[in-house]
Amino acid sequence: MKRTLRSLIALSLAFGGISAAQQSARLKIATVDMSALFMAYGPTKEAKAKFDEEQKGVIKQVDERKAARDDAKKELDTLEKQLGDPSIADAKKQALYAERQAKQQQVEALQREGEEFLQRKQRAMSEQMQLRMKDILEKIRAQVQKHAEAEGYDYVLDKTGASTSQVPVLLYTKDATDITDALLKALGADAPAPAKDGK
């Protein structure tokens, strides 16, 4: 009986010791809103402004191509009306048929070229935007890592991260510190100063 009691006391002390060790080795965890950091970061706003400007340029070029195609279509319609006119001589109609055929091919070529141009530009702009976003996210991650190391965090979790099924990866954290505001200030310090005198 005494031996059993001593064993229980020894086990109790051992578990108490483990619990104390676990308490002292508790991980220091922080959360961050990467989406908020990305949207508020100066280079993100610059990249968006640049993308919007490029998009306006592409829209202008698309409109110019559309106008050229519309002009060719009007010319084609005029030729169609002339071919339907019974007062036009057969010899003249032969020339009009050939002209209409060439104009039809021109309209189709302009349509095809316009569609290919738009697809090419959309693909190029999408690739450029992805590269810019990747570069910006790398800079933000570096700032997060620098802050985490300075503050002694073991893990920093993105509370806006989602799985492939669009379910939030982080559903709950106990005793985690949100460092988003501190990082927003740090990233704001890295942003370029506003231009003076409208320059």
For residue 195, what is the DSSP state?
A: P
The total of other beta-carbon atoms located within 10 Å of residue 99's CB is 15
Q: What is the per-residue pLDDT for 56?
A: 94
Instruction: Encode the chain (199 residues) as per-residue pLDDT tens digits.
Output: 555 545 445 545 555 544 444 444 678 888 888 989 999 898 999 999 999 999 999 999 999 999 999 999 999 898 888 888 888 777 788 888 889 899 999 999 999 999 999 999 999 999 999 999 999 999 999 999 999 999 998 988 888 877 677 777 776 777 778 888 888 888 875 544 444 544 4
- Mapping DSSP onto H, E and C, the string for 83-131 reads HCCCCCCHHHHHHHHHHHHHHHHHHHHHHHHHHHHHHHHHHHHHHHHHH
Query: Cα separation of 165 and 61, whole Å?
Result: 38
Q: What is the per-residue pLDDT for 3?
A: 53
Query: Cα separation of 157 and 80, whole Å?
Result: 67
Q: What is the per-residue pLDDT for 8?
A: 46
Query: Cα separation of 159 and 129, whole Å?
Result: 24
Query: Cα separation of 82 and 67, whole Å?
Result: 23
Local structure of 137: helix, strand or coil? helix
Pair 31, 178: CB distance under 8 Å: yes
